Amino acid sequence: MASIITGVDIGGTFTDLIYVDESSGAAGVSKVMSTPDDLSRALLQALRESSLRLDDLLVIVHGTTVATNTLLQRRGAVCGLLTTKGFRDILEFRRRDRPHTFGLTGVYEPLVPRDRCLEIEERVDFAGEVLTPLKEEDVRAAVPRLLAQGVEAVVVSFLHSYANPAHERRAREILEELWPNDHIVLSSEVLPEYREFERTSTAVVNAYVQPCIGDYLRSLLARLRSEGYRRDVVLIQSNGGIMSLDVARRASVNTLLSGPAAGVMAAVYLSRAAGFPNAISCDMGGTSFDVCLIADGKPSMKSTTELEYAVPINVPMIDITTIGAGGGSIAWLDGGGILQIGPRSAGADPGPVCYRRGGEEPTVTDANLLLGRINPRYSIASGEGFSLDVEFARAALAEKIGKPLGLSPTEAADAVVQVANNKMAGSIRMVSIERGLDPRDFTLVAFGGAGPLHAAAIMRELELARAIIPLFPGVTSAMGCIMANVRHDFVQTINQRLDQLDFARLRTVYAEHERRGRQLIAEEGIPVAAVEVLYEADMAYEGQTHVVKTVFPRPDVDEAAIRGAFEETYQRFYGRTIEGFPIVIVSLRTTVEGVRPNLDLKGLVPPTAAHLEEARKGVRQVSFQGVYQPTPIYERHRLPTGAKLRGPAVLEQPDSTTVIPPWAMARVDDLGNLILEVQP
């Protein structure tokens, strides 16, 4: 009887796997190097390492970076774009911005070049009234022109189609008649919201990644089928929810942040389970530091993301702020002699100087190594062990940072770590304060290979009460895969004043969203314990073009309830409300979430030592505040449940290292998490 739920996060460097057997409670993890030529090979290897039989698997939940890489490396489909006559250059025009505020040069290549953007005679106005009917011959004439250019996917994006999608729909019918294919994308279906450039861009990104994601998922599934796997593979979306492969093939733009979103979902689950529903998820890997705020057990979301210059994507994604601060981030001095960290990274190749693979610029990892915080003889992924060279790290830090600043190598390493910590703390401050929230009310959840090295320092910098280090910091994203709910988001622009609101329309839109969400969840067939629906509205004072997202308790709210909810939210953001100004409801948003049954992760907690001392591996000189001091080293996974230890201490495990400075203490909770706190 298949009863094992498996989460797999396939990244550029590592493939992480976690599994839980729902009937026996058995669980385990594995981490292998990724295999970029055929990503499924590493997946199968990870399954073998965990001694899992495909027959025993109930479902595989997958987090992927395929869509992101397709976009960033510009390896997507050959797309065509049909626009309203007069608006062929909608992509090339952008919002007129330059790539950088200063400097008057720049290069922009739209995802669809101009010769594949064709104009169609039609026009609808802002109220959805047809001013010029769709000229169907134009659509017919477009087909051979697109085919001649080798187009694989077509986007139809007409002005004001959010208000009236009829012309886009009719254009699709004609296209399908002449050229049946799976890759026709309508802007009004991907994003029925105003702002023509952003809507078109989002639809184009969808079309651009859709064939690649489709091919990838098809071949992944085929590989698993050929090995005898009969069950489903499902995907984590950018909004942190799960969707089926069928949905992912159509709504591919929703897979862009699949991998990072999975990490946040793990943080959501872990912080809630540990009793701290207000948390900040921090994933520090090799090149970047990803932060997401979790308020009351919900990750914050954003409705617009720009993954590269002038390519906005306006679908709800988990609001992950990424800064270039990871273990591999390079420390350097700017022209004014000020120490900077990142955003350039030494990556996996050549890697930090201490890898001795030709890296010459000191990184955060080199600094941590010199300070004694990382064990020079500890490997990361299975079978890939190599030792790190402290002397190389010392020489590079002395040469590039220490000498110019008049610091000793150790002082230089200390400065590098401090500036990195401050940079990370700064981005956390930004994401919390931006929402009017005080970071001190939050618990840090620190993961990724490098997160636990810095968690305590960031915690102190921000005056946070505590930090949680998950059991397997290095495979947390895979863990998020098996914890995520099934989720679908809907939006509809209505643009109505509150004092003239058509309440029946509001209820109809919400009801229709809910119906579609429930239907999708039913079709996907992933077991859920309950379905929850969240009703929100983008609201503003009349004239404002930016909105505040207001949450309604029910879909049948009255005017007073809507006003109250809006004013409270507005007050929180801007410190005031504006009396006597009409209020507008711009868009209605609905989230339909299938809540998955709770998983028991106790099986992941490995057999521990009976006493703290048995977990102790030795002592190493570790530098804190400029002074090396003998510091006990522990095997993280042997620490007994409930154990308490005072800093200084270093905890080692295959996928990460946790540093407990002299002023901090740690305890092991029932779920195997480490809880760091400042010593009283």
Partner 1 sequence: MSLDATTLAVLRGGLDRVVEEMDITLRRAAFSPVVSEACDMANGIYEAASGEVVCQGPQGVPMFIGIMQAATQMVLERWAEKIQPGDVFIVNDPSTAGTHLQDFKLIAPYFCEAAAGGPRLAFLANTAHWIDVGGAVPGGFGVAAREIFQEGLRVPPVKLMARGKLNEPLIRTILANVRVPRWAYGDLMAQLASLDAGARRLTLLITHHGAERFLAAVTELKRRAEDLMRGCVEAIPDGVYRFHEHVDNDGVSNSPLRIEATLTVRGSDMAFDFSGSSEQSQGPMNLPASVTISCIHVAIKHVFHQVPMNAGSFVPVRVSLPEGSLVNPQRGCAVGGYAEVGMRVMDVVEGLLAQAAPRAVPAGSASTLNALLIGGYDPGRRRRYVCYFFAGGGGGGGPTSDGLTHMNPQIGAARSQPVEILEHLYPVLFEHSRLRCDSAGHGRFRGGFGAEYAIRLRAGQARATLMGDRGIHRPFGLWGGEPGRGTEVVFLRNGQEYRPPLVSKVQDVSLQGGDRILLRTPGGGGYGAPGDRPAAAIERDRQRGVITETWSGA
Binding residues for partner 1, rule: CB under 8 A, are 85-90, 92-98, 100-108, 113-115, 125-126, 131, 159-160, 194-198, 334-340, 405, 407, 415, 418-419, 422-423, 426, 429-430, 433-434, 495, 541, 543-546, 573-576, 578, 581
Residue whose CB is less far from partner 1, 14 or 570: 570
CB 57 to partner 1: min, Å: 46
- The dihedral over CA atoms of 250, 254, 260, 263, expressed in degrees to the nearest 10, equals -90
Residues 94, 68: contact at Cβ < 8 Å?
no
Pairing relationship of beta strands 4-10 and 14-21 according to DSSP bridges: antiparallel
CB 654 to partner 1: min, Å: 32
Number of Cβ within 10 Å of residue 489's Cβ equals: 24
Residues 192, 165: contact at Cβ < 8 Å?
yes
CB 339 to partner 1: min, Å: 5
* Residue among 527, 563, 480 nearest 231 (CA): 527
* HEC assignment per residue over 560-573: HHHHHHHHHHHHHH
Residue whose CB is less far from partner 1, 353 or 540: 540
Residue whose CB is less far from partner 1, 57 or 548: 548
Residues 563, 498: contact at Cβ < 8 Å?
yes
The angle formed by the CA atoms of residues 247, 250 and 255, to the nearest 5 degrees, is 75
CB 335 to partner 1: min, Å: 5
CB 644 to partner 1: min, Å: 30
CB 97 to partner 1: min, Å: 5
Residue whose CB is less far from partner 1, 21 or 193: 193
CB 475 to partner 1: min, Å: 31
Number of Cβ within 10 Å of residue 181's Cβ equals: 12
The token pair at 54 is: 């495909």
Residue whose CB is less far from partner 1, 385 or 404: 404
Residues 119, 87: contact at Cβ < 8 Å?
yes
Residue whose CB is less far from partner 1, 430 or 605: 430
For 668, the enclosing helix (H) or strand (E) is strand 664-668
Residue whose CB is less far from partner 1, 133 or 527: 133
- The DSSP code sequence of 218-234 is HHHHHHHHHTT--SEEE
Contact partners, residue 680, CB within 8 Å, separation at least 6: none
Residues 552, 604: contact at Cβ < 8 Å?
no
* Residue among 304, 172, 309, 337 nearest 238 (CA): 304
Residue whose CB is less far from partner 1, 96 or 377: 96
Residue whose CB is less far from partner 1, 272 or 429: 429
CB 629 to partner 1: min, Å: 21
CB 429 to partner 1: min, Å: 7
Task: For residue 648, say if its preceding peptide bond is cis, omega within 30 degrees of 0.
Answer: yes
